[in-house]
A and B are shown apart, each in its own frame.
Chain A
Amino acid sequence: MMYKIRTERLPELFALAAADKALYLPVEQGGQVEFRPWSEGAAVRFDALNTVRSAKDLFFPQTENLVAFRTEGKKISIIENADTGAPFGLMGVRSCDAKSFEILDRVFLAEPADTYYKARRENGTVVTLACHEPEETCFCAALGIDAAESADGDAASWIRDGWFYLKPVTAKGEASVETVRPLLTECDGADDAAVEAEKKDIGAVIGQLPFSKLDLSRFRGENMLEIFNDPRWKELSAACLGCGTCTYVCPTCQCYDIKDFKTGDGIQRFRTWDSCMYSDFTKMSAGQPRLTQVERFRQRFMHKLVYYPMNNDGLYSCVGCGRCLRKCPISMNIVKVAKTLGGEQNDEQ
């Protein structure tokens, strides 16, 4: 069953959904749209295509405490984290970001599962939102992702002609929709037709985007060493600043660091996002296996396009969200890498 509500009444829906749990959605603040907890008067931007940072923060936060210590002389006490987690809702997630959760799941839920991530996945209800106006930097179609209807998430939504359409797809999605049910109207055949028309329109736009036909088929395990040893990595990476912006805006980058911070009355061990673009990522007292930015740059793309798929049934660790295309200060990105090294079938594009 699909439901609808007029878009001008969405603040009522957000208020009801946020009554008993945190609700995260794209909110503009200081000119920047990010997933933020909803509060009265929040500038919710369902029209903004992609948040600056991806939605992965909600499951894999940029920093989180793992464990604390106190030391006294030779003694150490381990203080476990008391954060118990709580159910939350996540609305306005685009198909690309929703797909990234599956990619992260395959890392964090593989045994031994990351219990913090797992708890957040269980606590979170994801409502996806179809992309009314995909941008030129979008290439989700090349990754087999449908911007018109996400295959991931607990409920799907569309916005067309002043209506917000909401369709639960999992039991968790059903339960969440039930909490806002008093505000919703059941859809009829005309509504179904409107959503179908919306999907068709989105599909037509996607078909015309410049990178939708990017061919990644050369990036697979049997070509690993050939691609790895390609001399063109040098020119591709020549201008890379090693700033790591691509990894911080990327929905699938999952590398992390573990560090200790002296708090004054103890020590907090925390986890924080890290980037293979940084020189100290692999630096040991015994040596440094990736000496220059060429190797670091190569690692990031090899991991996304070859290594990760080798371990995950051919699934690429990229969702085509285009954030790195928009944010890289030297305009280098995964599309350029794929076009350069992906074989001549990409020459036309």
Chain B
Amino acid sequence: MSNNEALIPKLGVVTDIRMDTPDVKTFRVNAPEGGKLFEHMPGQCAMVSIPGVGEAMFSITSSPTNKEYMEFSIKKCGCLTEWLHQIEVGQQICVRGPYGRPFPVETEFRGKDLLFVAGGIGLAPLRSVINYVRYYRENYGKVDIVYGSRSAADLVDYREIIDEWCAEKDFGVHLTIDREQEGWDGHVGFVPNYVKELNFPTNKVAIICGPPIMIKFTLAGLQELGFDKTQVYTTMELKMKCGIGKCGRCNIGSKYVCKDGPVFRCDELDELPNEY
């Protein structure tokens, strides 16, 4: 028993760091010999660690269609993430994964019109799906993206959104910020309200990620528009240690968010105790 394989990380190296917002950086990670550490599907996560500092679960924000590297968009909000925000290109880190149930991009999403709703760093897991959909554009219908944050400076991946997503065929990109600010001529207001104002037709699959309160109100808003919970997907965040359904930390009801999630269809959440 030389190795407890499932819990032993691989060595990765940070090959690029992009400052997205004042508290979000996107880290590009490669295997030390180049290429990707492992393959994944949109919505899956990985455990990233700095030995001696900590290990935590992050969604993989790059699309699996990116064959060169993986990316993690990480908000500075705790012990490990503060450390990560101080590292420089060339730093080696430890990564294990991928973990969890991905978004059903090849089944339930296929052929459908898609509505992505994200708040703040909640864009990170959805970016993987959005770029996957862009890569296999012919497999999906119209795409709408509603994305909001506290201020314009807090919009993650702003350049990619403006330069690439807005230019994509049949892509509707709807940005909003919480409060008026100078130089912003776009929409102002909270994401759930904006989703209702946009009055989307209900022949879509909706995918929501953001702070719990945003998810809750956006789901309610979509239901007011006539969406059924079976059309709405979200991805959850709970504390995790093992990533393989054994350490007990992310247990809700009979589910483990690390392996049965993090992606859930909203009607599935109704069957779980309300403890997330």
* Complex CA–CA separation, A283 to B238 (angstroms): 9
Given A71-B52, A257-B241, residue A76 in contact with residue B94 (CB < 8 A): yes
Q: Find A76's partner among B3, B6, B92 (CB 8 Å cutoff).
A: B92
* Complex CA–CA separation, A299 to B53 (angstroms): 29
* Complex CA–CA separation, A76 to B90 (angstroms): 11
When the two chains form their complex, are residues A80 and B8 in contact, meaning their CB atoms are under 8 A apart?
yes
When the two chains form their complex, are residues B253 and A258 in contact, meaning their CB atoms are under 8 A apart?
no
Q: Find B3's partner among A115, A284, A289, A306 (CB 8 Å cutoff).
A: A115
When the two chains form their complex, are residues B237 and A286 in contact, meaning their CB atoms are under 8 A apart?
yes
Most B CB atoms within 10 A — which of A76, A260, A310?
Answer: A76
Given A254-B248, A258-B241, residue A112 in contact with residue B273 (CB < 8 A): no
Across-interface contacts of B61 in A (CB, < 8 A): none
When the two chains form their complex, are residues A258 and B247 in contact, meaning their CB atoms are under 8 A apart?
yes
User: Nearest Cβ distance between residue A78 and chain B, in whole angstroms?
Assistant: 6
A84 interface residue, CB < 8 Å from B? yes
Q: Find B9's partner among A78, A254, A311 (CB 8 Å cutoff).
A: A78
Q: Find B1's partner among A85, A228, A290 (CB 8 Å cutoff).
A: A85
A344 interface residue, CB < 8 Å from B? no
Q: Find A284's partner among B4, B239, B242, B246 (CB 8 Å cutoff).
A: B239
Interface size of A by CB at 8 A reads 58
When the two chains form their complex, are residues B247 and A82 in contact, meaning their CB atoms are under 8 A apart?
no
Across-interface contacts of A310 in B (CB, < 8 A): 253-254
User: Nearest Cβ distance between residue B256 and chain A, in whole angstroms?
Assistant: 9
> Per-residue CB proximity of B1-26 to A under 8 Å, as 1/0?
11111111101000000000000000
When the two chains form their complex, are residues A78 and B55 in contact, meaning their CB atoms are under 8 A apart?
no
* Complex CA–CA separation, A71 to B92 (angstroms): 9
Chain A: which residue is nearest B82 at the CB level?
A: A285
Given A75-B92, A116-B1, A254-B246, residue A282 in contact with residue B239 (CB < 8 A): yes
> Per-residue CB proximity of A256-270 to B under 8 Å, as 1/0?
111010100001010
When the two chains form their complex, are residues A66 and B4 in contact, meaning their CB atoms are under 8 A apart?
yes
B161 interface residue, CB < 8 Å from A? no
When the two chains form their complex, are residues A256 and B241 in contact, meaning their CB atoms are under 8 A apart?
yes
Q: Find A115's partner among B5, B92, B238, B245 (CB 8 Å cutoff).
A: B5
A276 interface residue, CB < 8 Å from B? yes
When the two chains form their complex, are residues B273 and A225 in contact, meaning their CB atoms are under 8 A apart?
yes
Across-interface contacts of B55 in A (CB, < 8 A): 258, 260
When the two chains form their complex, are residues B5 and A112 in contact, meaning their CB atoms are under 8 A apart?
yes
A271 interface residue, CB < 8 Å from B? yes
Across-interface contacts of A75 in B (CB, < 8 A): 92
> Per-residue CB proximity of A210-240 to B under 8 Å, as 1/0?
0000000000010011001000000000000
Given A76-B11, A76-B92, A307-B251, residue A71 in contact with residue B51 (CB < 8 A): yes
Sorted from nearest, which 8 A-B pairs have the closest CB atoms? Answer: A285-B78, A255-B248, A119-B1, A69-B51, A310-B254, A76-B92, A112-B6, A267-B52
